[in-house]
Structure 1
Amino acid sequence: MNKVTIVGSINLDTNLRVQRMVKPGETIHGKEHYTAAGGKGANQAVAAARAECDTRFIGAVGNDAAGDQMLDLLKEENIDVSGVEMLQNEATGQAFITIDDNGENAIMFYAGANYAFGPKEVAQNAELIETSDFVIAQFETPLEATTEAFEIARQANVKTILNPAPGESNLPEELLKATDIIVPNETEAETITGIHVKDEASAKEAAKKFHELGVEVVIITFGAKGAFYDYNGHSELVPAFKEKAVDTTAAGDTFIGIMSSILEKDFSNLKDAILYSNKASSLTIQRFGAQPSIPFKNEIK
């Protein structure tokens, strides 16, 4: 069983189902409204925990009802939240998500407490990182906090997985040099490398750029097409499982959290781990909500 620490965001998601996406200046009726636990970091932690990882979390919530609720839900998933700060005078992060009948989503994100913790708070929880097999981070929290976590991990020979979402350009050199695995989608890969990623050939070109920046393993997710990887001189597109999507929220988070649960530290089973994660994501997209849609290990098998 892998030990995984996530440094990332915790949000309360407000979801609205609609027939189609609204146009500027237009008002339309919603079909359904509900709230659910979310945040890319928390989603990835829940995926790892449901895959039966020893899962820890470093992050922050506000001292409010939403913060209490999110912490309780993480605890119910058997996630160690000793590294989660409850901050005074900060609101718990929130996301506002619209989902149409094709399963596509549009997300607006308010960071709140997610942007109010940094390197100091990460350093205080160094032991969680140093005793892990993998550390995962995204970009819904400060880059400085992620860089601190990855540098601690590198010194302790702990493998790092970076999900560069939302996409950011001009990433700190020290962050990429401390990243073992990077997992962007096509758009995020283009934002970082400047290469328009549309197929395997362009994905290979982008992967070369990532390697030049110091990243050992590159995995570019292509949604319904699957996931492309480039590692140790070999590249391949691992096909997705074809299922009808009703809500793609948390599909990428599921992929990363599940992958961390079975990936060997020497990456010897990389392709099998990607295939397993593709299967998990295919289950996620058939359900509504972020964390409610993430499958358990017995479902994937």
Structure 2
Amino acid sequence: MTNKVTVLGSLNVDTTMRVKRMPLPGETLQAENKSSAAGGKGANQAVAAARAGAETSFIGKVGKDSSGQFMIESLQDDNIDTTCIATDETVGTGSAFILLDEEGQNSILVYGGSNQQVKKEEVVAAEDKIKNADFLIAQFETPQAAAVEAFKIAKANGVFTILNPAPAAEIDPELLKLSDIIVPNETESATLTGIEVTDEASMVANADKFKEMGVENLIITVGSKGAFYSTKAGHDFVPAFKVKAVDTTAAGDTFLGSLSSQLKPDLSNIAEALTFAQRASSIAVQRLGAMPSIPTYEEIVEANK
């Protein structure tokens, strides 16, 4: 059965500058290459879900500019339903500027633009897209008030809510209570719980802390090492696949989107879904760019052979 996934999130045009190494404070370096592509955490996650086989819809906002039209068309190229993407008449489309070094590590500056203008009423207007989904995903590149509204609609209609608290920020306690699962990386998890992620015991302590905050289920992504999960049924660590990374820009988004395409709302197949997501992410980091690097279902399955 095909999962139906709705993503509330950001739409950014990414400009990537390739450099030998990161500049020091006050230092000017020559960029070796410059390229632009569709991106934004929300858009990347939606594309990852769609390419991995999910029926995907998007809730977000763009500016009244060529970048906004480019973003909508980019999602439509992956058969994502864009009818709930609003247009802001006064604020431009979001953008991100990515420095990428020879080791595949990145530093990113994000301009929120119209992403920061997503309002509750636009979420309410997308109620049908939320009600008819199996999973609703939100991150922190759009306002938390919009996510709270969306998650309320989801919970009232039995839709499983996935919160990706990235970039890390102080979380509205109400949003945590409305989240069925939270998916931070190890840095974000430590920022939110105050417990550094160093080993399995500290991951379990993070899970316990999130339960105190109102979230029963947790996945912590630990870069090239893998992912830890904790549910009512227990906890475990799923190792990542060893590959040579050339660009880690959309690794986490690829992981989350492809996870949502395979996961069952009762979490009964979480280990298998995580393995699938890890494989998808391992393909993405071997390619350049955010959205262009995200693999299809066929590529993920083929890599498993």
When normalised by structure 1's length, the TM-score is 0.98
For 1:285 and 1:201, locate their aligned partners in 2 and report how far apart those are by CA, in whole Å.
28
Does 2:266 correspond to 1:266? yes
* TM-fit CA distance, 1:233: 4.6
For 1:102 and 1:199, locate their aligned partners in 2 and report how far apart those are by CA, in whole Å.
25
* TM-fit CA distance, 1:249: 0.5
Specify the alignment match of 1:78 in structure 2.
79
For 2:61 and 2:237, locate their aligned partners in 1 and report how far apart those are by CA, in whole Å.
36
Partner of 1:224: helix, strand, or coil?
Answer: coil
Partner of 2:268: helix, strand, or coil?
Answer: coil
For 2:207 and 2:198, locate their aligned partners in 1 and report how far apart those are by CA, in whole Å.
13
Specify the alignment match of 1:29 in structure 2.
30
Specify the alignment match of 1:179 in structure 2.
179
Consecutive unaligned residues of structure 1, counting only runs of 5 or more, are none
* TM-fit CA distance, 1:213: 1.4
Specify the alignment match of 1:96 in structure 2.
97
Q: How many residue pairs were aligned?
A: 300
Q: 1:233 to 1:51 in 2, by over 3 A?
A: closer
Per-residue CA deviations over 1:84-122 (Å, capped at 9, x if unaligned) read: 001111100000001111111000000000001121110
Specify the alignment match of 1:65 in structure 2.
66
For 1:42 and 1:291, locate their aligned partners in 2 and report how far apart those are by CA, in whole Å.
8
* TM-fit CA distance, 1:37: 0.5
Q: Read off the aligned partner of 2:60 and give its amino acid letter.
A: G
* TM-fit CA distance, 1:276: 0.5
Divergent runs of 4+, >4 A: none
For 2:139 and 2:198, locate their aligned partners in 1 and report how far apart those are by CA, in whole Å.
23
For 1:257 and 1:194, locate their aligned partners in 2 and report how far apart those are by CA, in whole Å.
27
For 1:174 and 1:293, locate their aligned partners in 2 and report how far apart those are by CA, in whole Å.
35
1:178-197 matches, within 5 Å, as 178-197=178-197
For 1:259 and 1:275, locate their aligned partners in 2 and report how far apart those are by CA, in whole Å.
9
Specify the alignment match of 1:108 in structure 2.
109
Specify the alignment match of 1:155 in structure 2.
156
Q: Read off the aligned partner of 1:23 and give its amino acid letter.
A: L
* Deviation larger for 271-280 or 206-215: 206-215
* TM-fit CA distance, 1:231: 0.9
Specify the alignment match of 2:142 in structure 1.
141
For 1:198 and 1:187, locate their aligned partners in 2 and report how far apart those are by CA, in whole Å.
10
For 2:229 and 2:32, locate their aligned partners in 1 and report how far apart those are by CA, in whole Å.
38
Specify the alignment match of 2:227 in structure 1.
227
Q: Read off the aligned partner of 2:82 and give its amino acid letter.
A: V
Partner of 1:157: helix, strand, or coil?
Answer: coil
Q: Read off the aligned partner of 1:12 and give its amino acid letter.
A: V
Specify the alignment match of 1:130 in structure 2.
131
Partner of 1:286: helix, strand, or coil?
Answer: coil
Per-residue CA deviations over 1:222-266 (Å, capped at 9, x if unaligned) read: 000000011115111100000000000010000110000011111
Specify the alignment match of 2:205 in structure 1.
205
Partner of 2:224: helix, strand, or coil?
Answer: helix
1:221-260 matches, within 5 Å, as 221-260=221-260
For 2:111 and 2:210, locate their aligned partners in 1 and report how far apart those are by CA, in whole Å.
29
* TM-fit CA distance, 1:61: 0.3
Per-residue CA deviations over 1:22-41 (Å, capped at 9, x if unaligned) read: 10000111111100110000
Per-residue CA deviations over 1:2-50 (Å, capped at 9, x if unaligned) read: 1000000000000001111110000111111100110000000000110
Specify the alignment match of 2:298 in structure 1.
298
Q: Read off the aligned partner of 1:109 and give its amino acid letter.
A: V
For 2:219 and 2:20, locate their aligned partners in 1 and report how far apart those are by CA, in whole Å.
33
When normalised by structure 2's length, the TM-score is 0.97
| Percent of aligned pairs sharing the same letter | 53
What's the C-alpha RMSD, in Å, of the aligned pairs?
A: 0.7
* TM-fit CA distance, 1:298: 0.3
